[in-house]
Structure 1
Amino acid sequence: MYQIQIKRIYTEKSDTDGFRILTDRLWPRGIAKEKAAIDFWAKELSPSTYLRKWFDHKEELFTRFRELYREELEKNPEKDSFIRLVKEELKKEAVTLLFASKEEKLNQATVLAEWLKEQLSENTKEHSA
């Protein structure tokens, strides 16, 4: 099975990216659609506008942001189809979650990657039981 990775959208696309998913609610500034080379825009699974503005990439708020964003993901009606999409793509290639923030670690893509890995391992356990 391939892996889930995260990357800034401003970083050059590479052959190891595989299926590219934009995790931002807003289109990244200064990026042409062609250059972005995204395969899926997970706009509906990105943090709510309220949560995004509240967090504002402040390090001291990240732990709470992580909790609140994970709660949003759990309640999101799109989550099951998104998990299925990622699972299907991982059978063929890597999945890269793209984000625009200058903050490489404390952003929604890291939370989404962590959450997805948990969801996929739970699905695997359920099917092997």
Structure 2
Amino acid sequence: MTIAVKRVYEPPEPDDGTRVLVDRLWPRGVSKGRAHLDRWCKEVAPSTELRHWFHHEPDRFAEFERRYRAELAGNPEVAELAALGAGDARLTLLYSARDTEHNQALVLRDVLRGYLDDTASGSDA
């Protein structure tokens, strides 16, 4: 299983595998053709309220991550998205934020990895 994270503004690469946009809003300045998406999973993006509260302020990232993980815990779309990254498949999560160190795609990647690890070991996710 490989789950990569990259900005939607970066050019697609052959080894991206399944490309999934994980933003609630469509990224500015990117046409649907240029995005080269396989899916747009806005259902796994942070809620509008959480997104507005976070406002991409790095000092709020730890609390953002805690709240976002809580949102994802009750989201049935997580299992569907995790299935795209199972086995030998490659999944690339795309996001539009400028900050490459404090964004929802990084949190989601870690949640998906944990979900896949739990599923592989037979634990309840």
Question: TM-score, normalized by length of structure 2?
Answer: 0.93
What is the rounded CA distance, in whole Å, between the counterparts of 1:122 and 1:51 in structure 2? 27
Tell me the distance in 2 between the aligned counterparts of 1:60 and 1:70: 17
Matched residues, percent identical?
Answer: 40
Q: Distance in 2 between matches of 1:82 and 1:96?
A: 11
> In 2, distance between residues paired with 1:118 and 1:59?
23
Aligned-partner Cα distance in 2 for 1:82–1:3: 13
- Whether the aligned pair in 1 keeps the contact of 2:69 and 2:111 (CA below 8 Å) is yes
Q: Which residue of 2 aligns with 1:30?
A: 29
- Which runs of no fewer than 5 residues in structure 2 stay unpaired? none
The CA deviation at 1:40 is: 1.0
Do the aligned partners of 2:50 and 2:68 also contact (CA within 8 Å) in 1?
yes
- Aligned-pair CA distance for 1:94: 1.3
Q: Distance in 1 between matches of 2:109 and 2:80?
A: 16
RMSD: 1.3
Q: Partner letter of residue 100 of structure 1?
A: S
Amino acid of the structure 2 residue aligned with 1:111: V
1:6-25 paired onto structure 2 within 5 Å = 6-25=5-24
How far apart are 1:121 and its partner, in Å?
A: 0.3
C-alpha separation between the residues in 1 aligned to 2:106 and 2:77? 19
Provide the C-alpha distance between the structure 2 equivalents of 1:46 and 1:74, rounded to a whole number of angstroms: 12
Deviation at 1:109, TM superposition (A): 0.2
Deviation of the 1:39 alpha carbon: 0.5
SS at match of 1:110: helix
Q: Distance in 2 between matches of 1:85 and 1:50?
A: 28
Count residues with an aligned counterpart: 123
Which runs of no fewer than 5 residues in structure 1 stay unpaired? none
Specify the SS of the correspondent of 1:16: helix
Alignment match of 1:98 (pick from 94, 98, 110): 94
The aligned counterpart of 1:109 is 105
Distance 1:100 1:43 in 2: 13
After superposing on structure 2, the runs of 4+ consecutive aligned residues of structure 1 that deviate more than 3 Å are none
Q: Supply the distance in 2 between the matched residues of 1:58 and 1:81 (Cα, whole angstroms).
A: 30
Cα distance, 1:105 vs structure 2: 1.2
Q: Give the residue type in structure 2 aligned to 1:99.
A: Y
1:114 shift after superposition:
0.5
